[in-house]
Structure 1
Amino acid sequence: MMRFKIFDTFAKEPFQGNPTGVVYGDETLDKAMMQKMANELSLPHTLFLLPSEDSSILFNSLVFTPFQEVAICSQGIIAGVFAFLDDEIIPDGTHTIGTALGKKEVFIATINERIKYSTVFTSLGRPTVEKLSDNQRARLVKLIDNRGLLDFKGNFVVLGNKKRLVINVPYDLLKELAFISSKIMNVCQDLGIAGIAFFSKDQSTDLVHSRYFTTLLNGREDAVTGIAAGSILAACLENKLIEEQEDITVHQGGFTTREGYLYPKYRDNQIFVGGRASKAAEGKLFNI
């Protein structure tokens, strides 16, 4: 038997954000069994906590959707750290996590000591930002069949080993994007990308509203995901919508899905994304 917990990551309250599984694994687990367990839990992502022989690493980890392994998952890492916080076995400060892409640093900051109100920040690496060419923009407009997108800025952002398209649109258009889900797979295949993030920045505050559609969900909208928030921050910096050390709050989802809040930062030429998590369930998995 193996313990598991379910956390709502990037949530300000229970039953919002992105439900993420955390399984306390051991050296007997192979990837085939991890995939079966992730499929059984049927959550967007399940992180497996694995032992490490390196004393400098808090834990090793692998992450699976119900269908496949993913290289890195910020909500998985944050949920894994919150599992340790829930067990009361780690303090605030900086820790190192082992992932499929190597070591990643996380930073735990207690916002309110009285209620143990913590935010966990994890590194997504250094972003690469590319402009959308006129030809690519024309293909995008043709595939989506919405000429309104022609007027808005778009960038490709490579972060976490994959390329995504990030488009800055007015808030009114952001609300009307449900139609795009059926077109995402064709667009992503044509442009060679993993998903499309749309965002609209509030001019008077640090709040950014966003929606993210991904090939991992066959084109459907992902409720809340750190890699999209990090990509949006990179695009905001590239287009000088914010200053380099300026922090933003990304509100993702809430239109047709659960909603959540993410806190991306740009420090030391890297993107960090922060979030909170609320434990929703725990139990035991039986494995053969």
Structure 2
Amino acid sequence: MQLEFHQVDAFATQPFSGNPAMVYRLDGWLDDGLMQQIAAEHNLAETAFAVKEGAAWHIRWFTPSAEVPLCGHATLATAHVLFELYDEPGDVLTFTCLSGTLRVSRVGKRLVLDFPVRRAVPCELQAEVEQALGQTVQAVLALHEGLGVQELLAILPSEAAVRACQPDLAQVARLPGLGLLISAPGEAHDFVSRYFAPGIGINEDPVTGSTHCILTPYWAQQLGKQTLSAFQCSARGGELHCELDGERVKIAGQALLIASGRLLLP
């Protein structure tokens, strides 16, 4: 069996920046275990698999060690592949996933994700988060989904503090939830962030679209504005254009195809 794959740098305007994702457009679903093995083989933050089901595309995302319920950059990458390589008609793609219905629109050179708002609330984990980060923080919030914490958000005082942060990844992995998001007001952007998820095989994610479903409503309230510019200041870095629209978040960015190939399976 041979499967086509495509590697895309999402939230990037030049190669080797933004967040790389692997994309598979499938005619039918593979076994869950096989998809997890494929994601581990590629060893990128996310590998996306998409299957056409009716008028929509069902999309699933896998880190090297786990399936996740929502991923922004790999959805952007998948939309880029479907539009540019598989000639999907129109300028809007509809995706279904574990988190509901998502849409991606093509607007000029940008792709715009239409994702659900994810609201984080204050929590009582400040001491544990400060120990993991090795510094004091202004606030700690948690996103609760299902039976427990899905994500943690720590607010730092400045962009410099975000950039300089060197967390203890072993302690971060012991925190509840998928990962730890840190953020602060930006210097050239409305806000900046970084995201650490060693518990699911991602020490630091270069650019994370889904976390901006949390960050956008938070900073919209803090700054009193609905349209915000964001920068994820990882080593690769990536710029995102965010808008709070009721209970939806619009997240826009560009994408570049970096490589294509075939996976050879017995």
TM-score by length of 2: 0.87
Establish whether residue 265 from structure 1 lines up as the match of residue 263 from structure 2. no
Question: For residues 19 and 180 of structure 1, what CA distance do their matches in structure 2 show?
Answer: 24
Establish whether residue 222 from structure 1 lines up as the match of residue 222 from structure 2. no
Aligned residue for 2:60, secondary structure, equals strand
Q: CA deviation at 1:216?
A: 4.3
Alignment of 1:115-264 (within 5 A): 117=109, 119-133=110-124, 136-142=125-131, 144-146=133-135, 148-149=136-137, 152-158=138-144, 162-186=150-174, 188=175, 192-202=176-186, 206-217=189-200, 220-238=203-221, 240-243=222-225, 245=226, 247-254=227-234, 257-264=235-242
Q: CA deviation at 1:97?
A: 1.0
Q: Deviations over 1:239-263 (max 9, x none)?
A: x2232x2x22221134xx2111122
How high is the sequence identity, in percent, across the aligned residues? 21
Question: For residues 134 and 82 of structure 2, what CA distance do their matches in structure 1 show?
Answer: 47
Does the 8 Å contact 2:73/2:209 carry over to 1?
Answer: yes
Does the 8 Å contact 2:151/2:181 carry over to 1?
Answer: no
1:74 alignment partner, one of 61, 72, 75 = 72
Does the 8 Å contact 2:170/2:198 carry over to 1?
Answer: no
Q: CA deviation at 1:109?
A: 0.9
Does the 8 Å contact 2:153/2:183 carry over to 1?
Answer: no
Question: For residues 128 and 93 of structure 2, what CA distance do their matches in structure 1 show?
Answer: 44
Give 1:275's aligned residue.
253
Q: Deviations over 1:61-103 (max 9, x none)?
A: 2211121211221111111110012226235533311223332
- Cα 1:51–1:88, aligned 2, differ >3 Å: closer, same or farther? closer
Does the 8 Å contact 2:150/2:177 carry over to 1?
Answer: yes
CA RMSD of aligned residues (A): 2.5
- Cα 1:158–1:233, aligned 2, differ >3 Å: closer, same or farther? farther
Aligned residue for 2:13, secondary structure, equals coil
Q: How many residues align?
A: 263
Larger radius of gyration: 1
Question: For residues 20 and 33 of structure 1, what CA distance do their matches in structure 2 show?
Answer: 18
- Cα 1:29–1:144, aligned 2, differ >3 Å: closer, same or farther? closer
Q: CA deviation at 1:145?
A: 4.5
Does the 8 Å contact 2:45/2:202 carry over to 1?
Answer: no
Question: For residues 270 and 125 of structure 1, what CA distance do their matches in structure 2 show?
Answer: 5
Q: CA deviation at 1:273?
A: 2.1
Aligned residue for 1:174, secondary structure, equals helix
Question: For residues 29 and 97 of structure 2, what CA distance do their matches in structure 1 show?
Answer: 18
